[in-house]
Chains A and B, each alone.
Chain A
Amino acid sequence: MERSLRGKVAVVGIGETRYYKHGQSPEPEFKLALMAILAAAADAGIDPSDIDSFASYSNDRNDPSRLAAALGTKELRLSNMQWGGGGGGGAAAVGNAAAAIITGQADIAVVYRALAQGQFQRFGRAAAGGTVSGDNALINPYGIFVPAQRFALKFMRYMHEHGVRREAMRAIAMASYHHAQSNPRAVMYGRPLTEEAYDTSRWIAEPYRLFDCCQENDGAAALILVSAERAKDFRHKPAYVLAAAQGSDHRNAARSFNAPDFASSSFGPVAPHLWEMAKLGPDDVDVLQSYENFTGGVLMSMAEHGFFKPEEANDFLTLENLLAPSGKLPLNTSGGNLAECYMHGLELQIEAVRQIRGQSTAQVPDVHVAGVIAGPMVTPVSTMIIGSQETL
C-alpha cells in the first residue's frame, strides 16, 4: 500500500476574524478562536457541532476540549497539537488532521490558530530580569533573545556563502505589500511600501531592516477538512491536500547554534518528501505562499524547495517575477505575514485555498497547484501542496 496523503482529504471551509495590529483586538483570544471556527463552518455550510476534530500548532492556548464544550460539539475525536517550531507547524497541523481523517480517527477536522498578543506576551519581546539556564544561558546574556536576532545569524552566514544581495530581500517584502493593496482584510491595506521606504527603514538586527520582519497581530483563522469522498458535496470547489511534510535537518536543535546546517531554513531534507508525495516538482507550482517571519527565511525556504539555486536568488527574486497575476511565481498573494496579518501563517493556507477556488484578491489565472511553506528556520518546519480536482 502506498503511504500518502495525496488527494485523499480536501479543505472545504475557510474562515478568519478581522485582523488587528497586536494588542488591538477588542475580543479575547478564545472568543477569536470561536469566531474563526464558526466562520469556517459557515463557509463550508456545515453545522459547527459536527466538527469532531481539532488540530493546531505553536502551543496555541485554545484547548480543543474547551472549544468542543463551547461549540456544542456532538462528539470530540482528534485533539492534536504539533510539537515545537512555532509557526513552522502550520502545514504539519493540516498534515496531522489529514492523516487522522484518512486513518478513520477523524471525520470533520478544523485546523485553527488564534492570537491576542495584548492579552499574552508577544513573540518579539523578551521578559525582564531574572535568570536563565540551559541553552538560553549561552545566548540571552549576550543580548540575543528574539527570532529576529537568532535568525539574523543564520541569514548573515547564508548571504556570505551565496552572495545574496539586499535587493532580493527587498523584492520579497515589496511583493507582500503590493498584494496587500488589493486585499481589504490586510492590516497594511492602503499602506504601500516603496523601495526608498524599505532602503531607509531602521535596522532591527543586521541584515534585517524593519520591513524584513513580520508584523505582530491579533486575530484567528481556521480551515475545515474532510475526506475527498465527502468533499464533492460541499458548496465550494474543494482544495485537495496533495502532500504535506514535516521535520528538520540533522541535529537542528543542537545547543548554542551548533546545528550542522545552521545557515538554512531547515527544509533541506523535508522538501524532497513533499515533492515525492505530491508527484510534482517546483515547476508545477502556479502560486506560492511562503511564511515570512523574515525575508531571509523566505529566500532560503524557496531555495531549499528547489525553486532556484542559492546562487540564482538574486536573479529569480525580482518584484516582477513575484507579482500576481503574471509573474513567474506569484508570492504571498494576500500580503502574507508581512502585510496581511501575522496569523502565524494560517492566513497563507487560507490564501492558497482562495487561489485554488479562484477567489483571491490577487488572483493568478488557472491555478491548479498552490504551495504553502510554513515558518522557516525553526525546528520542526512543515510544508504542503494543495491542488484542484484536475490534479488528482
Chain B
Amino acid sequence: MTYLPPGLPAPVIENDGLDLPYWEGTRQGVLKVQRCGACNTWQWGPEWLCHHCRSWDMRWVQVEGKGRIWTWTRCWHPVHPALRDHGPYIAVLIELPHAGDIRMLGNLLGDPEQAVTIGASVEAVFEPHDDAPAPYTLVQWRRA
C-alpha cells in the first residue's frame, strides 16, 4: 500500500551516479545524506562539491529519520493523470535539526484532510515500490 496511487513517475538514479548512495540506502531502510569530510557541513540534495568549503570530499552518512514540519501544502487539483479522482494529499517539507537543518520533501501519512502544524515532529517511514520495473523506496513521514 502506497500513499499515492500507482502511475506517478518513478525515481531512477542519476546517470552520473551522484545520488546512488541515497537510493541504495532507502532500499535498505536507511536514510543517508551528504556531509563534508573537510568542514562537516551537511548538504542536501546531493552535489559533487561542498558548497561551504569547496571540498570534493563529500561523504554519505546515515541520519536518524526524525524531523519537524518546516512547510507544507495540501494539493487538491490533480495535475497528473495518475491523480485524477484521487482527492487531496499532503506534501510536507521536513527539516532535520540534527543534520544541519537540511530539508527533504515527502508526504504526510494519515488522513489527507488532517490539520497540519508547522513545527510538528515527524518520523520517517520507508515506502517500498517493489513492483516498479526498477524497484525503489520512497521516504515518507508520519506524526511522531
Contacts and interface: CB of A to CB of B under 8 A. Distances in A.
B51 interface: yes
B99 to A, nearest CB: 11
Interface stretch (A53-61, A120-128, A186-194, A321-329): A120-128
A162 to B, nearest CB: 13
Interface string A59-76: 000000000000000000
Contact of A140 (B9, B18, B47, B134): B9
Q: Using C-beta atoms within 8 Å of the partner chain, give the interface range for chain A.
A: 35 or more
B30 interface: no
Contacts of B77: 148, 202-205
A22 to B, nearest CB: 15
A157 interface: yes
Contact of A146 (B9, B18, B79, B103): B79
Contact of A143 (B10, B19, B23, B83): B83
A205 B76 contact: yes
A138 B104 CA distance: 8
B44 interface: yes
B45 A142 contact: no
Contacts of B82: 128-129
A249 to B, nearest CB: 14
Interface stretch (A24-32, A255-263, A384-392): A255-263
Given A138-B104, A146-B79, A157-B118, A129 B9 contact: yes
A242 B35 CA distance: 45
B1 to A, nearest CB: 15
A138 B18 CA distance: 13
A203 B4 CA distance: 19
Contacts of B126: none
A142 B138 contact: yes
A256 B10 contact: no
A149 B89 CA distance: 11
Interface in A141-185: 141-146, 148-149, 152-154, 156-157, 160
Nearest to A203: B76
Interface in B23-39: 23
B71 interface: yes
10 contacts: A128-B80, A132-B10, A135-B45, A137-B23, A141-B10, A145-B80, A149-B79, A156-B71, A256-B44, A256-B45
Interface of B: 4, 7-15, 18-19, 23, 44-47, 51, 70-77, 79-83, 88-89, 91, 93, 102-107, 118, 134, 138
Given A143-B4, A206-B76, 20 more contacts: A129-B82, A137-B14, A137-B23, A141-B9, A142-B106, A143-B75, A143-B80, A149-B91, A153-B71, A153-B93, A157-B70, A202-B77, A203-B76, A203-B88, A205-B76, A206-B73, A254-B51, A255-B44, A258-B44, A263-B71
A-B pairs with the 4 shortest C-beta distances?
A: A255-B45, A137-B11, A157-B71, A152-B73
